[in-house]
Amino acid sequence: MQKIKLDEKEYDFAKLSERARRITVELQTVTARIQESNNMIAILTKAKQAYIEGLKSEMLSAKAGFDFEN
């Protein structure tokens, strides 16, 4: 039996009204989407850092006249 915890109190999902069950499902969907968005933010942040490091390396290479990549 699935339990729903809300404000530190547990409720039996099967005993909720149909509307409350629909709202609970929507809440779970939104929560999952938020987690997906947070994961995407983490991925994009890592990509951004990689681009910044690549740019720094390129700028140092151009300034020093040396190719750090090869």
**pTM value > 0.85:** no
Q: Is residue 11 part of a domain?
A: yes
Report how far residue 43's alpha carbon sits from residue 36's, in angstroms, rounded to the nearest whole number.
11
Q: Is residue 70 part of a domain?
A: no
Q: Quick one: average pLDDT of 7-21?
A: 94
pLDDT band at 70 (very low <50, low <70, confident <90, very high): low
Query: By residue range, what is the domain housing residue 23?
Result: 3-64
Q: Is residue 19 part of a domain?
A: yes
On whether the CB atoms of residues 29 and 37 are closer than 8 A, the answer is no
- pLDDT for the residue numbered 43: 98
On whether the CB atoms of residues 4 and 11 are closer than 8 A, the answer is yes
Q: Quick one: average pLDDT of 1-22?
A: 92
Helix (H, G, I), strand (E, B) or coil at 2: coil
Q: Is residue 42 part of a domain?
A: yes
| Tens-place pLDDT, residues 23-59 | 999 999 999 999 999 999 999 999 999 999 999 988 8
Q: Is residue 69 part of a domain?
A: no
What is the 3-state secondary structure of 16-35? CCHHHHHHHHHHHHHHHHHH
Q: Is residue 18 part of a domain?
A: yes
Count structural domains, the chain: 1
